[in-house]
């Protein structure tokens, strides 16, 4: 199983939003200093990761919609 320190490194490189990353690192650091993680902390970590991924999804959809409109515009220009 991955250690908390290793997890922090993975989080650092995964492209989380700044706010999500700060929260995740903060919780992990506190857990590491204490030597254990509480169920609440674990749930919170999962929720933050889920939240960040959900925002990515929203961004992804938004960008795809932008591309779709740009494509329409490009087609219109070509005509």
Partner 1 sequence: MGQEQPSIEKTSEVEKEKELERLNKSFLKLVKEKAGKSLGELDYEEIIRIGEEFKQLPEVKNFEARYGELTPISPEEFTSAQKVKREKGGGLSKKKRLEEGAKEYWGEDMWKLSEYYRRSEGAKKGWEKRKEGEKTFAEEAAEEEQKRAAEAKVMMGEELPEEAAAAEEDIETLKKKTREEYEKAGFKFEYKKEPEKKYRRGPQRELWIDKVGNALIKGIDKMADGIAISGVAVEKGVRHCLALGLKPAAIIEDFNRRIFAGPRKFFEKIKMRREAGKAIEKSDKEELDRIFLSYSERIKEIEEQKKKKSRIWELIKQIKL
| In the complex, minimum distance from the CB of residue 23 to partner 1, in angstroms, rounded to a whole number | 7
**How many C-alpha atoms does 29 have within 13 Å on its Cβ side?**
9
The answer to whether 23 and 52 are in contact (CB under 8 A) is no
Footprint of partner 1 (CB under 8 A): 1-2, 4, 7, 10-11, 13-17, 19-20, 23, 27, 36-56, 58-67, 69-70, 72-74, 77
* Nearest to partner 1 of 33, 40 (CB atom): 40
Task: Confirm if 28 and 7 have CB atoms less than 8 A apart.
Answer: yes
The least CB distance from residue 72 to partner 1, in Å, is: 7
């Amino acid at each position: 199983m991955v250690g908390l320190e290793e997890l922090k490194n993975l989080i650092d490189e995964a492209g989380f939003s700044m706010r999500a990353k700060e929260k995740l690192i903060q919780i992990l650091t506190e857990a590491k200093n204490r030597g254990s993680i509480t169920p609440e902390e674990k749930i919170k970590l999962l929720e933050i990761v889920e939240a960040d991924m959900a925002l990515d999804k929203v961004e992804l959809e938004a960008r795809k919609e932008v591309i779709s409109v740009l494509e329409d515009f490009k087609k219109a220009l070509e005509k």
